[in-house]
């Protein structure tokens, strides 16, 4: 697992998100960071970290159309929920998110053979993910059966604002091939 750790939080950036694309943003962010390899499942201690928003992230946020992002994500989520409603194998986990929610992922339950379905979707180019991806080895599965059942039956599709209707259509077409 990689974690980006900022070494110079006071550094000033000359960034205009309206004129620079994401590759330029990413290049600048990587130049300003040092990558450290942390042990898997490293215990996170907030007191050990500088929790202020990085100036680069602040500039990106100021350039973002927050209302437009919420609208696009909510629309994409609703599209996926509608497309999977009544599907035999896939069931939207939260058919309608709360008003004003800004979902990044669309979680859905898989009725059977989750590892095979996950692998097949990935092989077909669908950016599906497992959430949570990992559980700490010391997690007492027997004490939290519902959490474990959800971890073992949920997959997530992206529904972020940069997806086009054709992206969503393609995901749905591939998922419709499963019965």
What pLDDT does 94 receive? 93
What pLDDT does 7 receive? 45
Q: d(Cα 82, Cα 78) in Å, to the nearest integer?
A: 6
Averaged over 137-156, what is the pLDDT? 90
Peptide bond into 132 cis (omega under 30): yes
pLDDT tens for each residue of 6-64:
444 554 333 334 444 444 545 444 444 444 444 445 566 667 676 778 888 888 888 88
Q: Which of 38-52, 85-99, 126-140, 144-158 has the lowest mean pLDDT?
A: 38-52
**Tokens matching residue 127:** 């950016």
Roughly what angle, to the nearest 10 degrees, separates helices 66-84 and 165-176?
Answer: 20
Q: With contact defined as beta carbons under 8 Å apart, do 85 and 92 qualify?
A: yes
Residue with tokens 């990044």: 104
Model confidence, pTM: 0.68
What single-letter DSSP state applies at residue 129? B
Averaged over 90-113, what is the pLDDT? 93
Q: Which domains does the chain have, with CATH numbers?
A: 2-63 (no CATH), 66-176 (3.90.1150.10)
């Amino acid at each position: 697992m990689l974690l980006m750790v900022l070494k110079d939080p006071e550094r000033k950036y000359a960034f205009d998100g309206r004129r620079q694309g994401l590759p330029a943003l990413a290049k600048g962010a990587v130049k300003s960071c040092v990558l450290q390899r942390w042990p898997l499942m490293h215990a996170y201690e907030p007191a050990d970290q500088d929790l202020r928003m990085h100036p680069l992230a602040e500039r990106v946020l100021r350039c973002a159309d927050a209302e437009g992002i919420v609208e696009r994500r909510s629309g994409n989520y609703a599209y996926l929920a509608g497309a999977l409603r009544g599907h035999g194998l896939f069931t939207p986990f939260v058919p309608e998110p709360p008003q004003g929610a800004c979902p990044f992922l669309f979680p859905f339950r898989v009725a059977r053979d989750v590892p095979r379905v996950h692998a097949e979707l990935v092989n077909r180019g669908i950016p599906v993910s497992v959430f949570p991806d990992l559980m700490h080895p010391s997690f007492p599965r027997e004490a939290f059966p519902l959490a474990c059942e959800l971890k073992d039956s949920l997959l997530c599709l992206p529904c972020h604002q940069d997806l086009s209707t054709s992206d969503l259509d393609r995901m749905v077409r591939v998922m419709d091939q499963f019965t």
